[in-house]
């Protein structure tokens, strides 16, 4: 009820503001030739003064009076005609006033009754938070509310930190990462996330705090490509060209030739005076990988088109594994591909499905376990016995692309993802 009263008051205020110009009295507007009439009247008075002072003869005074009178009558007639013309549109003013007052509220009310839900009761915030559905904003609000009541829940801060980062809430992301590190302890993922947040907060500059976080991450996880990359960026930005080139060359030597980040690493090697390594061209694959022509075409695509092409290849590989799961090379490729695309959940699902078909104590299973260790995935859990889970995204679903998870969009190619 209060809402309707407020809406009615706002409507009345807007209508009053619109009606004020229409109801101003026409007499308030001075005629366009009012100055001309005043001039003629002054000339009549001046003519009388000249005649009394014998400055003009009686005959000349009469001629002048007649001419001034004629002009005065003409100007007065124009004023009356203008006044009469202004009085005529009063009917239009009334019509405009009625339209302003009646039509917008009536149209708005009709649309609300047709398209809205006037009988739907208000849903309090608590009820919406209890059932957030897929609304990311409500999910974040629910997590924030939980952390406000339980600030020492390290798992909650661990979950929120990357979400804050992806949504651009860099100050909140930094606080969340620091709380997660304080409560859960340091690991490479948290330290690299904190460092990357500090870099983003400073417009791409690797500050001393960020560099310290990346160096700690490297101590805990020497194979963390993302941390090594930002250390090289810090050296490059501080003018240490030799150190930066060595760091990027070390990354290139430790990475597979077809690693998706090699394009970006080669750019920085060349920028610092080194020679970029050449990535090999993969032969056509029966597992859904790109042909030589696909790789060449991908180099000329925009980043968005390239990622769509990559996702299509990954989906095709997932479908092939659904029908032919006894292919270790396919499982290795799809786990690596999902991690490159930033979809850790699907990478975990693929890893578990692969370990169902290839036990960890076998040769093939050991390959999956080794790959999981390289990518930072837990390989000790296996999926429940049964059918292989559906790895391909549902219709309309888009693969999540986490920011800089050990790679860069500039370095992602079709060959690098599916190989």
Q: What is the pLDDT of residues 249-300, one digit of tens each?
A: 999 888 877 777 888 888 899 888 887 665 444 444 444 444 445 545 555 5
Tell me: do 299 and 395 sit in the same domain.
Answer: yes
Instruction: Out of 136-145, 149-158, 304-313, pick the least confident.
Output: 304-313
Looking at residue 177, its pLDDT comes to 94
Decide: helix, strand or coil at residue 51: helix
Tell me: do 139 and 267 sit in the same domain.
Answer: yes
Tell me: do 159 and 224 sit in the same domain.
Answer: yes
Model confidence at 100: pLDDT above 60? yes
pLDDT tens, 333-348?
A: 888 888 777 778 888 8
Looking at residue 387, its pLDDT comes to 38
Tell me: do 111 and 136 sit in the same domain.
Answer: no
Domain carrying residue 311: 292-418
Tell me: do 240 and 111 sit in the same domain.
Answer: no
Residue at a domain's end among 59, 87, 115: 115
Tell me: do 145 and 106 sit in the same domain.
Answer: no
Tell me: do 164 and 51 sit in the same domain.
Answer: no
Residue 127 lies in a domain: no
Model confidence at 416: pLDDT above 70? no
Residue 243: give its domain's CATH number: 1.25.40.10
pLDDT tens, 179-206?
A: 999 999 999 999 999 999 999 999 899 9
Q: How many CA atoms lie within 13 A of 165 on its CB side?
A: 25
Separation in Å, CA 200 to CA 231, 236, 269 = 15, 17, 22
Alpha-carbon distance of 281 to 158, in angstroms, equals: 39
Sign of the dihedral defined by the CA atoms of residues 160, 165, 168, 171, in that order: positive
Alpha-carbon distance of 189 to 23, in angstroms, equals: 69
Residue 124 lies in a domain: no
Looking at residue 201, its pLDDT comes to 93
- Count of domains for the chain: 3
Looking at residue 131, the DSSP 8-state letter turns out to be S
Residue at a domain's end among 239, 271, 303: 271
Tell me: do 219 and 108 sit in the same domain.
Answer: no
Residue 327 lies in a domain: yes
Q: For the chain, state the CA radius of gyration.
A: 39
Residue 228 tokens, joined = 């090594």
């Amino acid at each position: 009820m209060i809402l309707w009263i407020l809406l009615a008051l706002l409507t009345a205020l807007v209508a009053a503001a619109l009606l004020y110009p229409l109801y101003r009295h026409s007499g308030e507007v001075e005629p366009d030739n009012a100055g001309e009439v005043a001039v003629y009247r002054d000339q009549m008075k001046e003519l009388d003064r000249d005649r009394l002072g014998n400055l003009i003869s009686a005959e000349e005074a009469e001629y002048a009076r007649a001419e001034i009178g004629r002009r005065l009558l003409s100007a007065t007639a124009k004023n009356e005609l203008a006044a009469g013309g202004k009085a005529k549109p009063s009917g239009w003013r009334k019509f405009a006033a009625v339209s302003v007052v009646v039509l917008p509220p009536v149209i708005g009310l009709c649309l609300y009754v047709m398209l809205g839900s006037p009988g739907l009761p208000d849903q309090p915030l608590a009820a919406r938070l209890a059932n957030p559905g897929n609304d990311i904003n409500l999910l974040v609000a629910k997590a924030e509310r939980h952390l406000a009541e339980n600030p020492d829940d390290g798992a909650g801060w661990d979950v929120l930190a990357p979400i804050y980062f992806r949504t651009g809430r860099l100050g909140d992301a930094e606080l969340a990462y620091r709380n997660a590190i304080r409560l859960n302890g340091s690991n490479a993922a948290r330290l690299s996330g904190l460092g990357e947040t500090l870099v983003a907060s400073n417009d791409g500059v690797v500050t001393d705090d960020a560099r310290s976080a990346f160096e700690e991450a490297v101590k805990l996880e020497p194979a963390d490509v993302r941390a090594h990359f930002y250390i090289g960026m810090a050296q490059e930005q501080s003018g240490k060209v030799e150190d930066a080139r060595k760091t990027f060359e070390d990354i290139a030597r430790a990475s597979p030739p077809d690693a998706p980040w090699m394009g970006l690493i080669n750019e920085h090697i060349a920028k610092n005076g080194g020679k970029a390594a050449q990535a090999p061209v993969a032969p056509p694959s029966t597992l859904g990988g790109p042909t030589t022509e696909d790789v060449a075409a991908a180099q000329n695509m925009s980043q968005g088109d390239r990622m769509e092409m990559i996702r299509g290849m990954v989906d095709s590989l997932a479908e092939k594994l659904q029908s032919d799961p006894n292919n270790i090379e396919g499982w290795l490729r799809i786990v690596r591909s999902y991690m490159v695309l930033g979809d850790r959940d699907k990478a975990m699902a693929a890893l578990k499905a692969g370990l169902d078909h290839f036990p960890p104590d076998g040769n093939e299973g050991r390959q999956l376990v080794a790959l999981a260790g390289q990518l930072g995935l837990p390989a000790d859990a296996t999926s429940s016995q049964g059918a292989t889970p559906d790895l391909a995204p549902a219709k309309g679903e888009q693969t999540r692309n986490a920011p800089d998870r050990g790679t860069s969009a500039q370095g992602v190619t079709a060959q690098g993802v599916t190989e």
